[in-house]
Amino acid sequence: MKSPALRVLMVGTALEGRGGVAAVVSVLRGHGLFEREAVRYVATHAEGPRLAKARGAVAGFWNTLRACFGQHPAVVHVHSASHASFLRKSIVLLVARLAGSKTIFHLHGGGFRTFATQESGPLMRRWIRHTLEHSSVVIALSEGWAQFVHEFAPMAKVAVVPNSVPLPARVDRTLEEPGRILFLGRLEAAKGVFELLGAGARLARDFPQLRLVFGGSGDVDGVRRRARELGIEDRIELPGWIGPRQRDAELARASVFCLPSHAEGLPMSMLEAMAAGKAVVATRVGGIPEALRDGSDEVNGMLVPPRDEAALAAALATLMGDAALRERLAARARASIEQHYSTEVVCGQLSAIYRELAGTER
């Protein structure tokens, strides 16, 4: 018996994973996009031991092949970052094109520019360009990333669709703890965790209530060791990776959210903090400056250069010492999410792309 027609096949990482792509897709699914647009999701990557990852990849490719040639989806939408993620998804897109589907390459990960222009050799650069230019649409998270795609792959058709986050119903300021700074992300140098520790050491004397909370997995021992060297081991908390419920609780307690990354796409953790009504300090990298605006009449957060410990400390000191400023930036940050990054807005943009590619209207 022939399988029923499939409208959209979406391919990415396992949704129970801890990365940004899993968070993005979970938000889209939770808002009903899968039901409205007849989306089937296939995971080609999962966290865990090497053997489990290999089994997951094989199963994912097999399910993708069966879907592409058995159900003939109108659109195949892949979420991709760099390195192995790109290789897996580029093969999926090749299979989809051979099966006659329209294709969407959804670009995530702040390291893609370096991967494409510096870390890849001539053949890989050619394959990356080919993949981008032969996709029906490349989705970039910001205008800045769209400009990079146009420069690297001039024939690519690019659409800008930001990440989205749900908007919490209310913000309870009474739960905030003065001096509590929250970081959410992988604990590694590229996320700026060591600059945040250095900034914390500069602030500790003037702000006796200072607490640095690092929510995430990764180099926990390295973070603890550096905090000890700086004399602020008693000022840090390392709860490990936290799920949505604990994340929301930590956001409610935080006075300031800080993400001092060296490179980014459009980080979900920052958008979640803005939606939760938090004053945010982040670095001027990737798509962050398009969501978090500083130095203008519409300022809704504070931006600092990456790898600049002194500037980071100064921005955090300004916010921690000015409750009115924190509240003003927090309110504007939440309003920005409501206007531009809500799930309703982003799901509508994706639905329009699907319908255009599939040649259908509703």
Residues 254 and 291 in one domain: yes
- Is the residue at 155 inside a domain? yes
Residues 40 and 136 in one domain: yes
Rounded CA separation 325/311 (Å): 18
- 67-to-2, 35, 254, 286 alpha-carbon distances in Å: 12, 17, 45, 34
Question: What does the pLDDT read at residue 5?
Answer: 59
Instruction: Look at the alpha carbons of 274, 278, 279, 281 in this order and tell me if their dihedral is positive or negative.
Output: negative
Residues 204 and 94 in one domain: no
CATH (domain of 84): 3.40.50.2000
Tens digit of each residue's pLDDT, the chain (362 residues): 344 457 999 999 988 877 778 889 999 999 999 999 999 999 998 877 888 888 888 999 999 999 999 999 999 999 999 999 999 999 999 999 999 999 999 999 889 999 999 999 999 999 999 999 999 999 999 999 999 999 999 999 999 999 999 888 878 888 999 999 999 999 999 999 999 999 999 999 999 999 999 999 999 999 999 999 999 999 999 999 998 899 999 999 999 999 999 999 999 999 999 999 999 999 999 999 999 999 767 899 999 999 999 999 999 999 999 999 999 999 999 999 999 898 998 999 999 999 999 986 54
Residues 184 and 317 in one domain: yes
Residues 190 and 335 in one domain: yes
- Is the residue at 1 inside a domain? no
Residues 210 and 350 in one domain: no
Question: What does the pLDDT read at residue 361?
Answer: 53
- Is the residue at 3 inside a domain? no
- Is the residue at 256 inside a domain? yes
Taking alpha carbons only, the member of 232, 229, 333 closest to residue 277 is: 333
Residues 44 and 141 in one domain: yes
Residues 111 and 178 in one domain: no
DSSP 31-87: TTHHHHHTEEEEEEE--S-HHHHHHHHHHHHHHHHHIIIII--SEEEEEE-STHHHH
Strands (E), 126-253: 137-140, 158-160, 180-184, 211-215, 236-237
Rounded CA separation 37/346 (Å): 14
Rounded CA separation 304/312 (Å): 6
* 286 three-state secondary structure: coil
Rounded CA separation 202/196 (Å): 10
Question: What does the pLDDT read at residue 20?
Answer: 79
Are the C-beta atoms of residues 213 and 237 closer than 8 Å to each other? yes
Residues 150 and 189 in one domain: no
Q: Count structural domains, the chain.
A: 2
Residues 51 and 146 in one domain: yes
Residues 95 and 220 in one domain: no
* Cβ atoms within 10 Å of 24's Cβ, excluding its own: 24
Residue with tokens 């990557």: 45
What tokens does 48 get? 């865990």
Range of the domain at 224: 173-341
pTM: 0.87
- Is the residue at 207 inside a domain? yes
- Is the residue at 275 inside a domain? yes
Residues 235 and 124 in one domain: no
75-80/8-13 β-pairing: parallel
